[in-house]
Chain A
Amino acid sequence: RKEVEQDPGPFNVPEGATVAFNCTYSNSASQSFFWYRQDCRKEPKLLMSVYSSGNEDGRFTAQLNRASQYISLLIRDSKLSDSATYLCVVNSNSGYALNFGKGTSLLVTP
């Protein structure tokens, strides 16, 4: 079983739509969780950390369910510029090293 699993999509949504991505992780000892964004042929960049209480950054909301080992990302009022691959990321047992999911591809259309 892979450590971090995501639906690869693609998710095709119209501008203004709300879209949600899910991710599951296998290591119950994982402590830190993130969503990274990767544009086509670019490097990954941190979108937001994910906290147990849930957290919001503008149009983006992240949730963590430790009991189900499940992470989610909700994007409201989608913009064309949100088109990218969203990577679910969980820390490994060796401290700061990160395990990345395969990513979920989002395409926002006019």
Chain B
Amino acid sequence: EAGVAQSPRYKIIEKRQSVAFWCNPISGHATLYWYQQILGQGPKLLIQFQNNGVVDDSQLPKDRFSAERLKGVDSTLKIQPAKLEDSAVYLCASSWTSQEQYFGPGTRLTVT
């Protein structure tokens, strides 16, 4: 079974630039999550989708972050404009009905 796919794996941008990350969940998984993991900390939930609807985006900095999940499958997370403190690993995860979440390899973002 294919796992959660993410791209790109690495991205370096300058502050105030924009960036987008892509996630393809495990086939059939209705729930998709985006997490931000800053070095030395645990993952922090940014947004949760159930099919193509948003369940929880309470910790998403909506002035600069946006996410969508068209057709309830793939998802994109965008940052515009980026700040230095956005440097982190952005993890996508998916799950079916159980609470076990399967994580993708992440996108390592460096903002200079």
Residues of A participating in the B interface, judged by any CB pair closer than 8 Å: 4, 8, 32, 34, 42-46, 49, 87, 89, 91-92, 94-103
What's the least CB distance linking B110 to chain A, in Å?
Answer: 14
Q: Which residues of B contact A98 (CB under 8 A)?
A: 45, 99, 101
Q: Is the CB of A32 within 8 A of B99?
A: yes
Q: Is the CB of A97 within 8 A of B45?
A: yes
B95 at interface by CB-CB < 8 Å: yes
Known: A43-B103, A46-B101, A91-B99. A100 touches B56 (CB 8 A): no
Mostly, the A contact residues are loop
Verify A100–B44 contact, CB threshold 8 A: yes
Q: List 11 A-B contacts (CB under 8 A).
A: A4-B42, A34-B99, A43-B103, A43-B106, A94-B55, A96-B31, A96-B95, A96-B99, A97-B45, A97-B48, A98-B45
Residues of A within 8 A of B67 (CB): none
A97 and B33 contact, CB distance less than 8 A: yes
Q: B residues within 8 A CB of A96?
A: 31, 48, 95, 99, 101
**Residues of B close to A101: CB separation below 8 A:** 42
> In the assembly, what is the distance between CA of A42 and CA of B44, in Å?
16
